[in-house]
Structure formats: structure tokens, C-alpha cells
Amino acid sequence: LGGLCCAGLLARYGQDVVVLESHDRPGGAAHSFDVKGFHFDSGPSLFSGFQSRGPQANPLAQVLDALGESVPCASYDSWMVHVPEGQFESRIGPTDFLKDLETYVGLDATREWQKLLDAVIPISAAAMALPPLSIRGDLGILSTAAGRYAPSLLQSLIKMGPRGALGATKLLRPFSEIVDSLELKNPFVRNWIDLLCFLLAGVKSDSALSAEMVYMFAEWYKPGCKLEYPLGGSGAIIDALVRGIEKFGGRLALNSHVEKILIENGRAVGVKLRGGQDRACEESGR
């Protein structure tokens, strides 16, 4: 998804783009496949905010909007959970899930989940003050968010005081660091957090960026929030991105495994593919 979004935006703004995909289909970890007539998703499987617009919209929705593409979705607000502790319908929002935790796991899990919410929801003000496309894993987050978004970011951090600056720096760290700092010990809560990280980002909490998870909590706990499932599965998202890339002159090469980036005089000039073939970059460096 990241590579296709990058390629799509570069093509959209006039760069000469070729996507070299090692797999036999685009999308990397996020794609769909069929087995004996059944359709399966690979990669992230929880989505929301595809229909949102504006500076705080879902970042993937922003990319699709820039490419003039859209993904039809079905909306829902709960899903069935089957775990050793029991079977229950997991619902979006704080109240219902806390009730489910108390019923199926116990008061200890309920208290720890509330403790997590009390810590994360205030930090979400800093996350929501940033355009999602500017969230990145280094301190460039502050310079990237400058310009038209700077006033809203500064106002949010000023209102939050010292907690605002702390929240902004926490956004750049693995989500597990927030969880560990709260000393959350309940096995169900820890496993549930890892499950959400995996469903959203394909990794556990020690590899998921806090910005992603904090943004998710802020989005899911808004009144009337719904989850969305792209009709056609995650492959429908990939198809839309590929259409956007090709619409603006970009190209996609499958079964093209990059083994090495070729460097001359400190500058990338091309790549070496598996099998020995070289692909040179344009002289313009695009």
C-alpha cells in the first residue's frame, strides 16, 4: 500500500514512475486471492474513514481522492469475536466494549482498558491536529506539518500544555511503549491490543507506530463512527491505486525483484534486478 500510494502521488504530480513489484500481483501484503471459489483478504482487514474528506481524513482516502479514484464500501459497527474467554459481538465505541470486557473477561481487564483510553484519547488531540499524510516516523513530522496546518497544530498543543508536546513525541514511537508505560498486565488486554495492531497494520504493537493507533482510537470513539469494508476486499483498494498510477502515466512491473540500488557519486542512478538486469533512473533523477 505504501509503495503504491507513493507511486500514485508522484505520478499525479508529474513524475516519471515505474513500480517494480517482486510479487506476481501488486499490493505487497495487502491483496486478495481466491481458493476454490472463496475470496480471501491478505494484510490489513479493518478499515474506516474511506468516505471522509478534508485535512483530517483517512490518509488512504486522501491519496485516492488525489488520484480521482474511490472504493465503494459497506459499513458496519460490530463484528463477532471467538476467543477462549467466550464469544461476543465486539462493538465500536467505549461504553459497549467496556461492558463486554466486564462480562467476558473481568473487572481487571475493564480497568486496564479504561486506563489505556484515559492516556490515549488526550494524545489523540495532537494526532488529529496533523494531516494524516504528514505522520511519519521521524522528527520531520513537525516540518512536514508546517504551512497551512501549523496554526491548528500549534493551537492544539498550546491548549494541551506540556502534555501536548509529550503526546506529539509519543506519536513517533511504537505503540507498545505507551502500553508498557501504563503497566498493563492483563493477558486479554495485551492480546487484544496486538490483534488490533495486526488487523490495522499487519504487525504487533511493538512495530506499530503510535500515530496509527492513536488516530484509530480517536476515529473509532467519535459519535456515530462506522467501520467500512471495501466491496471486493482489500484487492479493490489495490485495483483503485493501480488505476490511479496508470491514469497519470505510471507503469507497474510484476515479478521484478530489486536486489540492489545502484549508487554513483552518492546518488541513486538505477536498480539491479534479480537475474542481473539493470534499470537506470532518468537523468533528471526522477
pLDDT one-digit tens code per residue, 138-151: 444 444 444 444 44
**Cα angle 251-257-261, degrees, rounded to a multiple of 5:** 90
Kindly calculate the radius of gyration of the chain based on its CA atoms and give it in whole angstroms. Answer: 21
Confidence (pTM): 0.73
Domain chopping of the chain, boundaries: 78-225
Integer Cα distance of 114 and 105 in angstroms: 14
Give percent of the chain with pLDDT exceeding 70.
Answer: 78
pLDDT one-digit tens code per residue, 69-120: 999 999 998 888 888 877 888 887 667 788 888 888 899 999 999 999 888 8
Q: What is the DSSP string of 196-220?
A: HHHHHHSS-TTTSBHHHHHHHHHHH
The confidence band for 168, taking pLDDT boundaries of 50, 70 and 90, is low
* pLDDT computed for residue 200 by the predictor: 79
pLDDT one-digit tens code per residue, 198-248: 887 778 999 988 888 887 777 777 777 788 899 988 899 999 999 999 999
